[in-house]
Amino acid sequence: MVKYWKPGDTLEKFIDHTLLKPDATEADIARLCEEALTYGFHSVCVNGVWVDYCRERLAGSPVNISAVVGFPLGANDPRVKAHEAAAAVEDGASEIDMVLSVGHVLQGRFGFVAGDIAGVVRAVEGQAIVKVILETGLLDDTQIAEACRVAEAAGAHYVKTSTGFGPGGATEAHVRLMRASVSPTIGVKASGGIRDGRTARRMLAAGANRLGTSAGVAILSGRPADATPPAGHRSGDEPDGARSADSRAEGQEANRQY
């Protein structure tokens, strides 16, 4: 059931705590899971290679695991996406964030897009929900609206703005458009550039039902997303005494993070 935020509601259960940078290590993922447990986020969102490890770290907790599929380009063969989704569920994912084939949307080939999405939905039916990433920065409003309708018709449970790797990120205008383009029972996930509480609440007020962000801790604590954690903050202490970069994205992703 899709949950709608209301002013005065807390934010943690609307957040998918995200780490998708290519150089993430086991220590980084352990920290992500620790933060999700500490702050009570809805899920952690990770690449497929880390799903089984997250299942071990989160065992017995209410924190879900979201796995990305066809990420970040959406250009995989549909059979590969379906297999990738099924493998992620087998490893412990209960939510799949798949990237649709952006090129086919741009060509108006929505039959292909529908089949691509439906293949993933069938592969995890009854086991996981499917969120479809549109990469809205590459599409115009007409294409966004039609992609939303196609995703719903193909059985998706959510439509989502961005990967965080493409141009731009979530905007209130796109969230409103997406909300208006699907049924109330279909969720909208805003991701890309959500780095503080004010932005998070604006996206939820615009109609988002979930937020994808690597800045969840900063959003809840009220600190700037790039601030150094205060002395004694345990989430900076990695297992076995190792210390690694925090769960912020770096490099290519730095300006368009979840």
- Residue showing tokens 């992620």: 88
Name the residues annotated as catalytic.
97, 160, 189
Which residue shows structure tokens 């509601």? 9
Among 217, 212, 228, residue whose Cα is nearest residue 165: 212
Own/partner long-range contacts of 204-207 (Cβ < 8 Å, ≥24 apart): 204/5, 204/11, 204/14, 205/5, 205/7, 206/172, 206/175, 206/176, 206/179, 207/175, 207/176, 207/178, 207/179, 207/180
Alpha carbon distance 254, 243 (integer Å): 20
- Contact residues for 109 (Cβ-Cβ < 8 A; gap 6+): none
Q: Is the CA virtual torsion 33, 253, 135, 8 positive or negative? A: positive
Q: How far apart are CA 129 and CA 65, in angstroms?
A: 11
Closest CA to 156 of 114, 103, 197, 215: 114
DSSP string, 14-26: GEEEEE--TT--H
What is the residue-wise DSSP string for 224-249? -TTPPPPTT-GGGPPGGG-----SS-
Q: Token pair for residue 240?
A: 């076995």
